[in-house]
Amino acid sequence: MNRPAALFRLATLVLLLWSPAAPPAGAAPVSAPQYRSDQILIQPRNGISRTVLAAFHAAHGVRVGRAFAAAGGAQVITLPAGETVASLIAKYQQSGLVAFAEPDYPVYADATLPNDPYFNNGLLWGLDNYGQNSGTPHADIAAPAAWDVLASASNIVVAVLDSGIRATHEDLAANMWVNLNDGGHGYNAFTGTNDPADDSTSHGTMVAGVLGAVGNNGKGVCGVAWSVQMMACKCLNNGAGSDSTVIACIDYALANGAKIINASFDSPTASLAVSNAIVTAQAAGVIWVASAGNGNPGRNIDLTPSYPSGYGLDNLVSVAYTTRTDALGTLSNYGATNVMLAAPGDQIYTTFAASDTYYYPPVNLSINLAGTSFSAPYVSGALALMLAKYPAENYHQIIQRLLAATDPLPSLVGKCATGGRLNLARALNPPVWLSPVATTNTGTFQLRLTTGANRLCVLQMSTNLIGWTPIYTNTTSANGTFDFTNPVSPPRQFFRATTTL
C-alpha cells in the first residue's frame, strides 16, 4: 500500500506564558565583594611576646577567631563593631607586632566560565543552575565542570537538519561549517542549492544557538560546545518538510563528513526510506540525535509512536526535556523504550534569525520557549565534545558513555530508558572502577580505585546492597588511582565508589 509522505513538523517551538524574574537584557552580574568585611588575617612577628600581642588585641576590642599553629601561625582577627578592614590593618601594621596584616580575600572553585552576558546573568540555567529564577540548584548539565575538561569540539561537524541557520549571526558565524568546494555552509533541500538560510520560524537558528553558539566571545549566549562546526541542512520550510527533504539532507550530511545529525522534528508516520538512510548513517558511525516530540500534554511514544525517535536503531538517541526544577516538561513526549534520556528544554534563551544581533525571547516579554527541539541540541553539543575528547571510541562507546553519565531523577523514572538527565561533566570524565588488589593473611584486603587524575572520590560500603555508608574519601593521584585497605569481617561486605562529578 502506498503511504502518503509523512509531514515533518517542528517538534518544539512552543510558546507559553510565564513570569520571568530574570534581570533586564545586558544587565551585568552583581560584583563579588573584594574581601571579607568582618575579619582580617595577621601573622605575629617572630619573637614577639604573646602576652603583649594579646594585650594589643584586647585594647582594640578584637578577638582571635582562629589560630593556625601548624600552618605558619597566622591568626584570624574578628573586627569589632564600627571598625573597618583598612583601618584595623593599618593599626596592626603600625604596631610593630606583626609580620603582616591583610584582608581575607575570597577564593573560588576553579571553573571555566565564559564571558557571554546571558550566561553570566543566569538566563542559561540549563548550563548552570544555581537556583536563579526559582530554579533548583544543579538541575542542569553541569557545564562549568565539564568545560574545565573541554569546551571546544572544533574538529567535529554536526549537521543541523532543520529550517536553516542564519550563518551571519554574531554568535554563530565563527562556528558555521564551510564547504571548501563552494564556500557554502550547508544545503537547501527545497532549492537544491548551498543556501540554507533560515526562514521566518527561525527554528534552526534557535537550535543552533543551544548547540553551538560561540562561547567566551563576550556576546549574547554560549552553546554547549563553545567551538564546533555546524552544517546547516534545510529540510523544513516554514515549519514543514517531507521524507524526501529529510533524506536529501541526510545524504548531504553523510557525503560531507558530519559525525552527528541533530533532528529537532518528528512525524507520526514511519518511513522505510528515512529509516534506511539512518541505517546508512549508522554504518558510517554517525550518531543521530532526535527530539522526542511534544504533545499537549506530552504522550508516551512507546504506545503512540513518533518518528524518527521510534526507529529503534542503536545510533539513534531520543531526548525528552526537563525544566529548571528537574521536572519532566509538561509538553515533553516520553517512553521507557524509545526515549533514551532527557536534557533541559524549558525557558530557553537563544539566537534568533531576525538579525545578526537578535536573541529570543526578548527578556522584557513573558514568553516561554520550550520543548524537545531544544533538549536535542543540548545532547548533540555534548556528543560533539565527547567525540573530541574520545576520538578513538566508536559510536556505540560514545552513546554508552553518554547514557551511563546521566543524573537519575524521580521525575524520569519509567519515562526514559536511563531515567536520567544529561550530565556533561560526568560524560567527559572517565568512569570510576573498583578492582581487588590483594588479600593478606592478616585479615585485610585491598581495593584499587581507578578513574581520572585528581578526582575526589568517596568509597561506600554495604552489607545488604540497600543501605550504603561512606567509609573513605580520597583524591586520586596523577595516574588516576588510589588504594584502600579494609579489614575482612562478617557479614559479607560490598563496596562502591562515587565521585563529585
- Distances from the Cα of 141 to the Cα of 112, 116, 210, 214, angstroms: 14, 18, 13, 18
Give residue 19's pLDDT: 27
Residue 122 lies inside a defined structural domain of this protein: yes
pLDDT, residue 8, reads: 47
What was the pLDDT predicted at 441? 60
Q: Using CA atoms, how far apart are residues 300 and 160, in angstroms rounded to an integer?
A: 26
Q: Are residues 390 and 460 in the same domain?
A: no
Q: What is the mean pLDDT of residues 140-144?
A: 95
pLDDT in tens, 276-291: 999 999 999 999 999 9
Number of compact structural domains in the chain: 3
Enclosing domain of residue 470: 433-499
- Is 270 within the bounds of a domain? yes
Q: Is 203 a catalytic residue?
A: yes
pLDDT surpasses 60 at 32: no
pLDDT of residue 439: 58
How many angstroms separate the CA atoms of 494 and 17, rounded?
50
Closest C-alpha among 310, 500, 323, 348 to residue 411? 323
Q: Are residues 117 and 202 in the same domain?
A: yes
Judged against a pLDDT cut of 60, whether residue 20 lies above it is answered with: no
By C-alpha distance, which of 258, 222, 231 is closest to 176?
Answer: 231
Q: What is the pLDDT of residue 21?
A: 30
Mean pLDDT on 161-177: 98
pTM of the predicted model as reported, rounded to 2 decimal places: 0.74
**What CATH number should be reported for the domain holding residue 66?**
3.30.70
Q: Which of 116, 128, 162, 199 is catalytic?
A: 162
Looking at the fold, whether 304 and 375 belong to one and the same domain comes out as yes
Domain edge (last residue) among 377, 408, 427: 427
User: Which among 84, 103, 122 is the end of a domain?
Assistant: 103
Confidence at residue 10, expressed as pLDDT on a 0 to 100 scale = 46
Which pLDDT score, from 0 to 100, does residue 22 have?
31
Please indicate whether residue 271 is annotated as part of the active site: no
Amino acid at 78: T
DSSP secondary structure code for residue 474 in this structure: E
pLDDT of residue 15: 33
Closest Cα to residue 256, out of 389, 168, 161, 391?
161
Most confident segment among 33-47, 83-97, 209-223: 209-223
pLDDT given at position 1: 36
> Does one domain contain both 315 and 420?
yes
More confident residue, 48 or 164: 164
- Higher-confidence residue of 114 and 435: namely 114
Quick one: 216 and 156 in the same domain?
Answer: yes
Grid coordinates representing 404 are 551511563
Q: Can you tell me whether residue 394 is helix, strand or coil?
A: coil
Is residue 27 domain-resident? no
123 contacts: CB under 8 Å, gap ≥ 6: 22, 221, 349, 363
Report residue 253's pLDDT band, with 50, 70 and 90 as the boundaries.
very high
Per the domain annotation, does 60 fall within a domain? yes
Domain match, 210 and 286 both: yes
- Give the pLDDT score at 18: 29
Which range among 186-200, 347-361, 380-394, 450-464 shows the weakest confidence by mean pLDDT? 450-464
Question: 86 and 173, same structural domain?
Answer: no
Greater model confidence, 21 or 455:
455
Domain boundary among 372, 401, 427: 427
On whether the CB atoms of residues 393 and 401 are closer than 8 A, the answer is yes
Domain assignment present for 247: yes
Tell me the per-residue pLDDT of 56-115, one tens digit each, with 9 for 90 and over. 999 999 999 888 888 788 999 999 999 999 999 999 999 999 999 999 887 654 557 899
Going by the DSSP 8-state scheme, the letter that residue 176 receives in this structure is B
pLDDT band per the 50, 70, 90 thresholds, residue 265? very high
pLDDT band of residue 185 (cuts 50, 70, 90) is very high
Q: Please identify which of the residues 163, 198, 203, 375 carries the catalytic annotation.
A: 203
Q: Say what the pLDDT of residue 111 is.
A: 59
Confidence at residue 501, expressed as pLDDT on a 0 to 100 scale: 61
* 75 strand-pairing partners: 42, 67
Same domain, 91 and 201: no
Is 396 an active-site residue?
A: no
Whether 314 is in a domain gets the answer yes
Q: Report the 10 Å Cβ neighbour count for 229.
A: 22
Phi–psi pair at 162, nearest 5 degrees: -165, -145
* Any domain includes 2: no
- CA separation for the pair 188, 197 (Å, rounded): 8
Tell whether 326 and 399 lie within a shared domain: yes
Span 128-151, average pLDDT:
94
Residue 280 sits in a domain whose CATH number is 3.40.50.200
pLDDT, average across residues 388-408: 95
Write the single-letter amino acid at 131: G
Residues 381, 490: one domain?
Answer: no
**Residue 1 resides in a domain:** no
For residue 479, the domain's CATH number is 2.60.40
Residue 427 grid coordinates: 560524560
Task: Report the distance separating Cα 69 and Cα 76, nearest Å.
Answer: 12
**pLDDT band at residue 437, thresholds of 50, 70 and 90?**
confident
pLDDT at 344 over 90: yes
Q: To the nearest whole number, what is the mean pLDDT of the chain? A: 88
Q: Note the pLDDT of residue 33.
A: 46
Q: Are residues 282 and 339 in the same domain?
A: yes
- Together in a domain, 219 and 91: no
- For residue 467, the model assigns a pLDDT of 80
**Catalytic-labelled residue, pool 373, 375, 380, 407:** 373
